[in-house]
Structure 1
C-alpha cells in the first residue's frame, strides 16, 4: 500500500486540501497520513472525521505557542523519517515547508506542492526559489509569474484550483442566505472582503481605514444597497468596526460568515484589496473593485485586462457604486477571459487533474 503524507499548518490550508483527502481516502490501494500543527486544524479534522496526528507527536521538545513555526521544523523532518511516505503533499512551500521539501529531495521522496494563494512580488518568498518536484498551479497567470521568477517550467503543471471547483458548483440562493444574515434580499448586496496589514505593509492600516470608511459612507447614500464586510480569518470583527463605528447609522453588516464563497456567489458586486477572493468574484462574473491607494502595483491582471475596476484614489471607490448596474458587455467578455487565465478551464475538474498527478507519481490507476 502506497502512503501519502499531507502536512498543513493553518486551518485555511486544511480546508483547501480537504477535497483531495476525501477523494484519496476512498482509494483502497492508498493510505493517507495527515499531520497538522494548530488547535484550530485539530477542531476541523475532528469535525470532518479525519485521521490525523499532531506535529507534537514527533518530538519531545515542547512548543512555545500554538503557531510556533521555528519549533515545527524538527518534528516535521522527524515525521518524514518515521512515516516514510511514498509521496509528500503540502499546499504551500513556505516557512518550515521549504526545509521539508529539501529533505524529501535528499531522501528521494516524491513531492507535490498545491497552490494556496495568489503569487506576487511581496510574497515571492512563498513561491520561489521552488525546490520541490512538482507545483500544481491554478492557471497560466501563476505559471507565467513563476517562470519569470526563476522556477523551471518543467516543474509546473497547470491544473486549476480545487477550491475554485467548489466555487463553480455553489447553489445557495440569495433568499436563503438573507434569512441567515437577516438582511433584505431585494437590495443589491455589495460584498467587501477585508484583509489585515500584510507583507510589505500592503495593505497598510491607513489604506484599510480609508477603504472601509469610504465604501461605508458611499453605501449609506444608496437606499437599495446593502454593504457587507466579510472579515478576513486573521482579523477580528472589531478590527473593521473601529472604522465603521466612526460613521453614525452606517447600516453596514460586519460578519465572519463561515463560507466566503457562498457570500460571493449571491452578492451583486465585490470589493477587496488583493484577496484571493477576487478570483472567485471573477470566476462568478461579479463586478469587482480592487483597491490600491498606495501605488500602481497590481497583484492581479484584472484591471489591465479590463475585467475589473481599480481604485487608486478614494474618489474611485465612490465611482464604483455607480457602475454596478451598468450593462457593460466588454467587461463581461474580459471577465470571462480573465477567469480562464487565472483558473485553468473553469470546468470544475481541477481535483481530477491533481488526482491524476498523484496517481502518476505513485504508479497507480483508477482501476486498482
Structure 2
C-alpha cells in the first residue's frame, strides 16, 4: 500500500482526533467500500450513499482534509480514494464494529474441532482450525505451535556408552524424536529401564509440558519409588526433551484463496510477495508469536510489520492455551489489508477459545 505521506505520528493523531461527525462518516464509507470491493471511492458515489445530503464538491473538500491527515490517498490518477494503512489502523482501533459468531457458526466450529481432535493428533485439530479460518476469511489460515504440545505415547532411554544415552520420544501421531542425554556417574545398570517404566506409566495422552509438571508436583512420590540417581535421570531426561522440543512449527492452509480476488497486475505481484512471505516460515512464526504477548485478538496491518512491508497484507491472530492456562500457540488469518475484520476477528477469537477448551479437557 502507498505511504501515508510526510506526516508525523503526532500530527496524524491530532488530525484524527479533530475529525467531526461528517468527516468520520465519509471516512467510514470510504473504508467500508474498500473492504467490500477493493476499489477507490469517488465523491459522486459517496454523495449517493451517505446518510446526510452533501454535494460532491463538499465531499471533495472533506476528502482533501482526510488526505491531509494521512487517512486516505488517491491511487494513480484515479478520482477516487482508498484508505492508507494509517487510516485502516484508525478505523480498526476506533471505528470497527465487531460482529458476533452466530449460534450455528459456534456449533459448526465446535463440531469440526472436536471431530478433528477426537481419536486424532493435536496437529490434526490445528490443521482443521487453519482450514476452517481459511474458508471463512478467503485468506490463508495459519497456526503456530511448539512440538512440545504433541501428545506422547512412549518414552525410552537407550544407553550409547557409559556416559551417554539416547532419549527416544514416540508421539501419538507416530513421530519419533531422539535426544542425547549425559548420564550421572555411577548410574545403576537397570536405571534406564526403571526410569522409562516410571514415565511410561504416567505418559499416556500427556504432552511433555503436562508430564514435566506432574513429575514436579509428585516429586516426593518419585523419590520414594526410585533411587536418587534414577530420579535425577528422569528429571534430566525430561529437561533435555522439553528444552529441545520447543521448536516452533507452522501450519498454513488455503493459500490458493489469495488468488481468487485479483483485480490488477499489481495485485498478482502483491500475492506473489505474500506467498514468498509465507514460505519464510521463521518470519511468519516470529510475527505470530508476537500475538502471544497479550489477551485476545491482535491485528497487524501492512508495513506496521516488516514481514508485510512489501505485500501490503494483514494478519488477525489470537493465542490459545493448555490446561494450565499457559499460552501454547497462536492461530489466525493472513490476507490482503481489505480483510473483513468485523467478521474474521470474532471467528478467530472463538476458534482459539474452542482449541483452548479442547486442550484444557485433554480432548
Is TM more than 0.5 here? no
Q: Greater helix share, 1 or 2?
A: 2
Structure number with higher relative contact order (C-alpha < 8 Å, ≥ 6 residues apart)? 2
**TM-score tier (shorter):** under 0.3
Give the TM-score taking structure 2 as reference length.
0.22
